[in-house]
Structure 1
Amino acid sequence: MNYVVAVLANRIQAEAAYSALLEKGIPDNQIDVLGSGYKSADEYKLIDPNQQAKRGLKGSFYWLVLFGFVAGYVFNSLTGIEILPTVGTVGNHITGGLLGAIAGALGAYFVGGSVGLTKGSEDALPYRNRLNEGKYLIIVKSTEELTHRATHVLRQFEPENIQAYTEPISASAYVGCI
């Protein structure tokens, strides 16, 4: 599947571009308009970087806390460092494990959250920002021939930005070919 995304300055341009695309034979079910009064970024499932950050944090949190506890426990048992003299040997091992778990939680928060913010958002954040500025997006998803035709039509409206994308073929598509 091929995509063309054009950023238009106002609603009048967006509606004119939509009408021109229809006149050139592009089916209306392959054209989406995003902006005020039309679909929102969430309805179109444009990736929200904050949600990606939460997923990254949640995915790494449990493993890093568990690993941190085990690493802290083992480190304390190997070195014999006395953290709290009143709790005894096993208590110090558990305290070392708890300190390791805290370190793992902090690592998950800073690394998992920041990776989630950057991974997967790519062009979605600039498009979300433009929608928040009151601009409109015209998205055409179709065959290569129709997206080339759509690109030609959209250039007539002098969009702020026009970008073409090709969706990669999934592994399940290869399975069907075998």
Structure 2
Amino acid sequence: MNYLVAVLPDRKQAEAAYSALEEAGFPISQVNILGNGYMSADEFGLKDPGKQARKQKNLLFYWLVPFGFVAGYAFNFLTNIEIFPEFNEIGNHISAGFLGGIAGALGAGLLGGGIGEKVSSGNILPYRNRLDAGKYLILVHGNEDLTQEATRVLYQFEPENLQRYTESSVK
């Protein structure tokens, strides 16, 4: 399956492009308009990278905080390092466990939230940003010949961006 994404600046051009595709005989079931008044990015299935990153961060938090606590406790138990001189041996072990848990929480926030959003967004984030800016997307999906013909039809509307994808490059 191949995909073609065209970014158009306003609703009038998006509707004209859709009509041109319809007149050229394209199956309407394979053409979508995304934008204000039409299908949203979430309805079409363009996942919000921020939402995905929050899910990933929560999952990492769930696993890394307890692991960090156990690792910190075990390390202090094995080495008998005195973190706080005023605490007894058990108090130092528990303090080390809390510090390990804090390190796990920081790791989950950094990897799941910050880096996770940048890595998982791929090409979706620029398209979502354009939709948020009031632009419109025309999406055509089908075989290679269909997307090549759609490229020729849509090119006459001078889209801001015209990008083709194959099934293997789309997540």
Q: Same fold (TM over 0.5)?
A: yes
Residues paired across the two proteins, number:
169
Q: Distance in 1 between matches of 2:91 and 2:116?
A: 36
Identity rate of aligned residues, in percent? 60
* Structure 2 CA distance for aligned equivalents of residues 59 and 154 of structure 1: 42
Q: Secondary structure at the match of 1:81?
A: coil
Partner of 1:151: 151
* Offset of residue 63 of structure 1: 2.1
Aligned 1:5-154 pairs, distance under 5 A: 5-85=5-85, 87-154=87-154
TM-score, structure 2 normalization: 0.92
Cα shift at 1:131: 1.1
Amino acid at match of 1:72: G
Please tell me the residue identity of whatever aligns with 1:97: G
Cα deviation for residue 28 of structure 1 reads: 0.6
Q: Shift of residue 86 of structure 1?
A: 5.1
Given that 1:52 and 1:119 are in contact with CA atoms closer than 8 Å, whether structure 2 keeps it comes out as no
Tell me the secondary structure at the aligned position of residue 41 of structure 2.
coil
Q: CA deviation at 1:130?
A: 1.0
Map of 1:174 onto structure 2: none
Residue 2 of structure 1, CA deviation: 0.7
CA positional deviation for 1:58: 1.5
160-169 or 81-90: bigger deviation = 81-90
Distance (Å, rounded) in 2 between the aligned partners of 1:151 and 1:20? 12
Pairwise CA distance, 1:141: 0.8
Q: Distance in 2 between matches of 1:119 and 1:56?
A: 12
Partner Cα separation in structure 2 for residue 143 and residue 120 of structure 1: 26
* TM-score normalised over the length of structure 1: 0.88
What runs of 5+ residues in structure 1 fail to find an aligned partner?
170-178
